[in-house]
Amino acid sequence: MEGNKKMITIYIMGKAYKVPFGLTIMKAVEYAGYRFIRGAGCRAGFCGACATVYRKKGDYKFRTALACQTTAEDGMYLAQLPFVPANREEYNIENIDPDKNVLSEYYPEINRCVSCNTCTKSCPQELDVMDFIQAAIRGDYKKVSSLSFDCIQCGLCTARCPAEITHYHVAQLARRIYGKYYSPIPKHLEKRVGEIKKGKFDKEIERLKKMSVDELKKAYVKRKIERIPRGEVREE
């Protein structure tokens, strides 16, 4: 106990530190005196920048998590992953032939998938990563897009993959192809883009640009939000 706080012991790069119970891994690492120069990101579980690997004392299992989402535990051995080296292939979405399985063309390593499911087990978003890679092998852009929609590209799947598949880049390409060539254009979005091009909101944008930060915050809180009734689907 330190004062009235319950303290736990964590290990950062092999060195023991006492930190208060209840902190996230990110806050615990900072409490121990480390600064996040890289790998901090949004701190809210959306950007995937704070990929972390760890083991628990007495447990052989190698675990993965996002440091901002996961609570530090007593006896936790931590190591941060500031960047997972996974190069994205270069392509021009305008020149892609959507009738071909270009996922296998640009990322042939997907065909090395051994269905070990390590990628799925590593995902902090609990996505069916292996399933969307199998869909990618079949060239099913829609299924890849659907299953990978909540991917935050943290890279933990790639870091653990024995076949060296860059899952999140594969999924990103599939979503871009599906969005450009197969997904219907929402009529309300098409209408709004037309209004923007005609300058309908120019005066309002200029007014917002002249506001102070406090004024913008107040305007944001008071904004009108369009609500769609539960169970209703907007027509495309």
Please list the alpha-helical segments (H only) found in 5-81: 25-31
Q: Where in the chain is the domain with CATH 3.10.20.30?
A: 7-80
Q: What is the pLDDT of residue 236?
A: 45
Sheet holding 15-20, edge to edge: 15-20, 7-12, 76-80, 51-56, 63-66
Q: How far apart are CA 236 and CA 226, in angstroms?
A: 16
Structure tokens at 215: 């004024």
The CB density around residue 21, as the number of other CB atoms within 10 Å, is 14
Any idea which fold 93-182 has? Fumarate Reductase Iron-sulfur Protein; Chain B, domain 2 (1.10.1060)
Q: What is the pLDDT of residue 224?
A: 84
Q: What is the pLDDT of residue 232?
A: 52
Q: What is the mean pLDDT of each run of 10 residues along the chain (236 residues)?
A: 77 92 94 84 82 87 89 90 75 92 95 95 94 96 95 90 93 95 88 94 94 94 77 50
Q: What is the pLDDT of residue 172?
A: 96
| Nearest Cα residue to 151 out of 227, 45, 236 | 45
The CB density around residue 69, as the number of other CB atoms within 10 Å, is 17
83 contact partners, CB below 8 Å, separation of at least 6 = 38, 39, 155
Q: What is the pLDDT of residue 3?
A: 56
Sign for the pseudo-dihedral over CA of 125, 53, 41, 220: positive
3-state SS assignment for residue 19: strand
Q: How far apart are CA 11 and CA 18, in angstroms?
A: 9
For tokens 């299924």, name the residue.
143
35 contact partners, CB below 8 Å, separation of at least 6 = none
Instruction: From the options 3.10.20.30, 3.60.15.10, 3.30.930.10, 3.10.20.90, give the CATH code of 7-80.
Output: 3.10.20.30
Q: Where in the chain is the domain with CATH 1.10.1060.10?
A: 93-182
Q: How far apart are CA 164 and CA 172, in angstroms?
A: 17
Q: What is the pLDDT of residue 76?
A: 94
Q: How far apart are CA 151 and CA 126, in angstroms?
A: 9
Residue 135, exposed/middle/buried by CB under 10 A (0-12, 13-18, 19+)? buried
Write the single-letter amino acid at 194: G
